[in-house]
Amino acid sequence: MTHTVDFHTVSTAGLESSPVAEALAGLRANEARYFKNKYDHVFTVEPAGDAAEVVDWVHRVLSEERGIVVSSRPLEATSFQVENIRMAYVFYESGLSINVMYTVDDAKKRAVGFKLSEGMEVPEELSAFKFARQKSKLAGTIRGSYFVIKNEY
């Protein structure tokens, strides 16, 4: 069942099994606030089992681009399009959030982003990446990194 992410009242609903559930909920709310403010888009998520197509697409991009296989269990996912950008998000039990930003008409503006919730360690599969820190009122300290997508998906 799909639910809207409320960034005014942060909820751990759907993320309870994560050891960093509150930080992950803040990270999810931070993304919701960004899309509402920038694109007037209401950010909704659904259980990963109901969004298998989205999870599979994100995992395919990771695997084919960099040989990355995420070891954590996906909890929630979403996909949507704002303007000319196809977006997909997967939120993992470990506290990891992965997004794929895929512009429909410009192959030069496609990337995969990783965000680590406060309190989680860098997963082994992402140890080659350098992470920048960002402060968020909703999520505390977020560490993020990305890579550019080179192929078509």
Model pTM score? 0.96
| pLDDT values of the chain reduced to their tens digit, one per residue, 153 residues | 899 999 999 999 999 999 999 999 999 999 999 999 999 999 999 999 999 999 999 999 999 999 999 999 999 999 999 999 999 999 999 999 999 999 998 888 999 999 999 999 999 999 999 999 999 999 999 999 999 999 999
Structural domain count of the chain: 1
Taking CA atoms, 30 is separated from 60, 63, 97, 137, in Å, by: 26, 27, 11, 8
Domain that holds residue 64: 3-148
Does the residue 58 lie in any domain?
A: yes
* CA dist., res. 16 & res. 3, Å (int): 15
* CA dist., res. 5 & res. 13, Å (int): 9
Does the residue 100 lie in any domain?
A: yes
Does the residue 153 lie in any domain?
A: no
Does the residue 40 lie in any domain?
A: yes
